[in-house]
Structures are given as structure tokens and as C-alpha cells.
Structure 1
Amino acid sequence: MKWGVLIISILLFNTVATFMKKRLKTSEIYTTVIFGLLVSSLVDVYASFRYNAWGFFEVEKAELSAILVLLGIYPAATIMIINWYPYKCTWKLKLTYLMGWAIFSTSYEWLSIKSGVIWHNNWNLFYSFVMYPFIYYILILHVKFYRWMQQRR
């Protein structure tokens, strides 16, 4: 079941990310995806091996199959999050947007746990739900920082 969930997710996420109307520059998307991959890889490795909090597939193993999650899911999700973010709307709409993604992500994480793609040990879904809005806002801040840097050129 885990491979079915993972493959369908990769195909669905990447199809949406590829064919959606892009509101950001390619350079903004690219740099934010790379930034997101760097941060998530560091956090995932540290959480998995230092604290044994969560990981992918097998407990206490570094597996090549985890790369499918890192490169198949994370970039596409990052693209959707930063592309659809309501940059010019009220803070209430921005907060609602981030909370909507937190609900979606927590639900997807639950499905990933049930299917065996992810395991939790010293972690739970409530922690994830609380952290997701902050994580996603860091991606938004990165887009803004990149734009600021480009203006200074």
C-alpha cells in the first residue's frame, strides 16, 4: 500500500505543480524549492537520527527510497504553496491559507503513516499541525527575501 500511495502522490502532486498557472518567476520557484529541500533534509535527518522522532519507511535506517519523498513530493508541494499564496491579500486570508495547507498536510501525513511511508516515534500529528504554518511561512519569507535581493542588484 505504501508504494501505491507514494507513486499516486508523486504523479498527482507533480502534475498539478507542472500544469498550474505560475504566478511566480521561475527563479523564485527554483531558489525556494532548493532552499526548502535543504532545510527539510537537515530537519528530517536530525529528527530521524538524533531524536528518533520520525522518518521514512524503515525505522532507524537511511534508505534510498526516502529520496522519492524528498524529490517527488517536497518540491511539488513547495511550488503549490508558494505559487498560490495570497501575497497581496489581508493577513486573515494569508493565515487562513496557511491553516488550510496545515490541515491538508496533516491529513496527508496521517495517510502516509497509515500506509507505511512515514513512521512516528517521539512525534505526533498535533505537533505537525502546529509546525506546518510556520514552515510554510518560512518558504513565503524566502520568496520575499529573494525578491528583495533581486531589487538590490
Structure 2
Amino acid sequence: MILQISSVVVFNLILYKTIKGISANKIVHIWVFTIAFQLFFDIFIDLKYKGYWYFTQGIDWIAFPAYTILIPPVNLMFINWYPFNSSFKKKVRYFIIWELFLLSYEAAAMLPHPFGFFHYGWWSIWHSAIVNPILLTILIGYYKWISVLEKKACI
């Protein structure tokens, strides 16, 4: 719980202080996309297959901040600093750095109560190591798509 609350504050402050070049429209799109995609993914992995969960198994209000104000700013920070116009090597290095951050954060979130809030069923850190780059790639693809749509709307 302590990690969740402090992370919400820190991640949102970092985002607020560092976000540049992303329109309000794109911010809203990424924020809502993150919530929807995370809920869709978690319906299956958490609720149906009991792979992992926040705080307690099943639906609980205490996990609401994790879905709505914890992950979206992290995704926006990832997009904000992503080296779109750099070499493939730089992009791979960026992914590796983020993968290490995400896996480290996940490990910290599994610390016992009151610090942590994340629990594994059959899921493991190795599942996350495989799935995270796929999810981040989907996020980049979505961001590029809404960027194209935004340009078309401004013409």
C-alpha cells in the first residue's frame, strides 16, 4: 500500500514536470487506452485465470488507483522519452532500461503488506519479462496511430 500511494504521487509528479511535445489529446488517449487495455488484460489474467492480482483476489476498490492513476503516467513517461528518431540500437537499449525498471518495480510491489500490493498466482517475473516488451510495443503502435489521426484531424 505504501509503495502504491508513493508511486502514484511520484510518477504523476515526474510526468507533470517532464512531459513535453505530447498534446493534451494524445495524453488523454494514452491515459484512457492504458486503463482500458489493462482492465481487458487483467480480466483474463487476474479474474479468470488467477495469474496475479492487486491486494486481494477478485474485484476490490483498493486496487482502483493501480488501474487509473498508477500505470497511465508510467506509459506516458515511456512515450515521452522514447527515442522515436534514433537508431534501432538506441531503441533496444531504451526497451532494456525500461524492462529492468518495470521488473524491479514489480518485484518491489510484491513485498509484504504494508509496503507491497501485488501478488502472484501462477504468473512469474519471467512471464512479465516476456509480456512487457509486447505491451510496450503495442503502446508505441497505438501512440503512432493516434499521432496520424491527430495530424489528419488538423488538416
TM-score normalised per structure 1 = 0.92
SS at match of 2:61: coil
1:117 aligned residue: 117
Structure 1: how far apart are the matches of 2:150 and 2:7?
Answer: 34
Tell me the SS of whatever aligns to 1:55.
Answer: strand
CA RMSD of aligned residues (A): 1.3
Matched positions, count: 150
Q: CA deviation at 1:149?
A: 1.8
Unaligned residue ranges in structure 2 (runs of 5+): none
How far is 1:23 from its partner? Answer: 2.4
Q: Is the partner of 1:119 in helix, strand or coil?
A: strand
Distance in structure 1 (CA, Å) of the matches to 2:91 and 2:84: 8
- Equivalent residue runs for 1:35-114 within 5 Å: 35-58=33-56, 60-114=57-111
The amino acid of 1:146's aligned partner reads: I
**Runs of 4+ in structure 1 displaced over 3 angstroms?**
none
TM-score, normalised relative to structure 2: 0.91
- Once the two structures are TM-superposed, the CA of residue 77 in structure 1 deviates from its matched residue by 0.4
* Pair 21,72 (structure 1): closer, same or farther in 2 beyond 3 Å: closer
Q: In structure 2, the residue corresponding to 1:65 is in which secondary structure?
A: helix
Structure 1 range deviating more: 101-110 or 27-36: 27-36
Residue identity matched to 1:45? I
Which amino acid counterpart does residue 136 of structure 1 have in structure 2?
A: L
Query: Helix, strand or coil for the counterpart of 1:52?
Result: coil
1:68-117, Cα deviation, whole Å (9 max, x unpaired):
11122111101101111111111111121112111100100001011340
Report the AA paired with residue 99 of structure 1.
Answer: I
Please tell me the residue identity of whatever aligns with 1:36: T
2:128 is aligned with 1:128:
yes
CA distance in 2, matches of 1:73, 1:114: 17
Residue 33 (1) aligns with residue 60 (2): no
% same residue:
23
User: Which of residues 9, 22, 30 is equivalent to 2:20?
Assistant: 22
C-alpha separation in 2, matches of 1:97 and 1:5: 24
Question: Is the Cα–Cα contact under 8 Å of residues 98 and 137 in structure 1 kept in the other structure?
Answer: no
Change beyond 3 A, Cα 1:21–1:152: closer
Which SS does the other structure have where 1:123 is aligned? coil
Cα deviation for residue 22 of structure 1 reads: 1.3
